[in-house]
């Protein structure tokens, strides 16, 4: 493995057209635009159409990543999809995306690390590249969180949005080199954020539907507390392992769960505000997709420069958390390396 590297060559993203604003939410639950903005930093989020699924959004993002790389779908070796809102329990959403994009030579599987999914998936993709097993790997994060959100629960329904992000990973630059990675989990806290119904513990019955068990449940305050602490520790461990200083980080690209969480991590990691990517206002929390959407944002704004270090950090149900450093080699603009 010595000397081998893994790079994100291109990105692709997709956001559904429909927008759900704070004012729209005021009509659904007892809330206000002021409360949501103050407590979360959110103004609006994108919501998929009824007939538009996680696989459709993921396939659209994946196609853009391939077009930007000028790679034929038949040259993709592996598709890894990170999602907590798959089309079905099985088959995997990765298989559905494989068929939609015509990646007929690719292996395909899903992973489940909730909002940390993109970082877990990137670490798996890197390992496959470094082992020499595969050359072209598509990582796709896609979420239709609106399908598992209870629009009668004001504690959760204000937070979530739909969307997808994809990236193509290869063993050669230019691109975003996937460097140091730090991953963690604490299954002892799984009850803080979960979907009780639909699995083998609570298969669908009239009772589970009536009790609204097919919607996600969250203890927001506790999740908030763990999110700040775990993301801080993961980010600091990554910075230290890479032998970097906080000042060496050009951009912090955190999971987009809440502006207050993002601000707290930046402060604890000593990363100045102007180096923090925050797209929570327009997208809400899109779980696994959020980091990819944030990366796309800084790449279309032409903010990323050669040799920049980008610090990705995420936290989610499980509990899971992770951090990862990307170092820019060459140019990376509009989701494309050159």
Residue numbers of the site for ligand UT7 (CB under 6 A)? Answer: 31, 35, 39-40, 115, 154-155, 158, 220-221, 223-224, 227, 257-258, 261, 285, 315-316
| CA distances in angstroms from 175 to 43, 83, 273, 337, listed in the order given | 32, 24, 25, 5
Min CB(287)–ligand UT7 separation in Å: 6
Q: Between 149 and 309, name the residue whose CB sits nearer to ligand UT7.
A: 149
- Which position's Cβ is nearest ligand UT7? 220
Q: Between 7 and 224, name the residue whose CB sits nearer to ligand UT7.
A: 224
Phi, psi torsion values for 92, nearest 5 degrees: -65, 150
Q: According to the 3-state scheme, what is the secondary structure of the chain?
A: CCCCCCEEEEEEEECCCCEEEHHHHHCCCCCCHHHHHHHHCCCEEECCCCCCCHHHHHHHHHHHHHHHHCCCHHHCCEEEEECCCCCCCCCCHHHHHHHHHCCCCCEEEEECCHHHHHHHHHHHHHHHHHHCCCCCEEEEEEECHHHHCCCCCCCCCCCECCEEEEEEEECCCCEEEEEEEEEEECHHHHHHEECCCCCCCCCCCHHHHHCCCCCCEECHHHHHHHHHHHHHHHHHHHHHHCCCCHHHEEEEEECCCCHHHHHHHHHHCCCCHHHECCCHHHHCECHHHHHHHHHHHHHHCCCCCCCCEEEEEEEECCCEEEEEEEEEECCEECCEEC
Min CB(271)–ligand UT7 separation in Å: 18
Min CB(211)–ligand UT7 separation in Å: 21
Beta bridge partners of residue 108, listed in sequence order: 79
Phi, psi torsion values for 153, nearest 5 degrees: -110, 105
Min CB(137)–ligand UT7 separation in Å: 25
Min CB(331)–ligand UT7 separation in Å: 32
Q: Between 69 and 252, name the residue whose CB sits nearer to ligand UT7.
A: 252
Min CB(118)–ligand UT7 separation in Å: 12
Q: Between 40 and 182, name the residue whose CB sits nearer to ligand UT7.
A: 40
Q: Between 15 and 79, name the residue whose CB sits nearer to ligand UT7.
A: 15
Annotated catalytic sites, by residue? 115, 255, 285
Q: Between 31 and 208, name the residue whose CB sits nearer to ligand UT7.
A: 31
């Amino acid at each position: 493995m010595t000397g081998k590297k893994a790079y994100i060559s291109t990105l692709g993203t997709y956001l559904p057209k429909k927008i759900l604003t704070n004012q729209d939410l005021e009509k659904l639950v007892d809330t206000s635009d002021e409360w949501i903005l103050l407590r979360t930093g959110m103004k609006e989020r994108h919501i998929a159409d009824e007939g538009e699924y996680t696989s459709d959004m993921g396939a659209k993002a994946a196609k853009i990543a391939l077009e930007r790389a000028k790679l034929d779908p038949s040259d993709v070796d592996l598709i890894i999809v990170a999602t907590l809102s798959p089309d079905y329990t099985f088959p995997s959403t990765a298989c559905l995306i494989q068929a939609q994009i015509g990646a007929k030579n690719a292996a395909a599987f899903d992973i489940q690390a909730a909002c940390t999914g993109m970082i877990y998936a990137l670490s798996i993709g890197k390992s496959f590249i470094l082992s020499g097993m595969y050359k072209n790997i598509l990582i796709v994060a896609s979420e239709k969180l609106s399908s598992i959100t209870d629009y009668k629960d004001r504690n959760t329904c204000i937070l979530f949005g739909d969307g997808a992000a994809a990236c193509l990973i290869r063993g050669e630059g230019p691109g975003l080199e996937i460097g140091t990675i730090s991953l963690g989990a604490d299954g002892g806290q799984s009850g803080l954020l979960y979907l009780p119904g639909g699995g083998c513990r609570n298969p669908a019955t009239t009772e589970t539907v009536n009790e609204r068990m097919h919607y996600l449940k969250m203890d927001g305050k506790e999740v908030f507390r763990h999110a700040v602490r775990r993301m801080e520790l993961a980010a600091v461990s990554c910075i230290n392992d890479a032998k970097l200083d906080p000042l060496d980080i050009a951009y912090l690209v955190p999971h987009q769960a809440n502006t207050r969480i993002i601000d707290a991590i930046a402060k604890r990691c000593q990363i100045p505000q102007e180096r923090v990517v925050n797209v929570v206002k327009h997208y809400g929390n899109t779980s696994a997709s959020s980091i990819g959407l944030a990366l796309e944002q800084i790449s279309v704004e032409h903010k990323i420069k050669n040799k920049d270090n980008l610090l990705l950090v995420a936290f989610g149900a499980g509990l899971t958390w992770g951090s990862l450093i990307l170092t820019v080699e060459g140019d990376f603009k509009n989701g494309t390396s050159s």
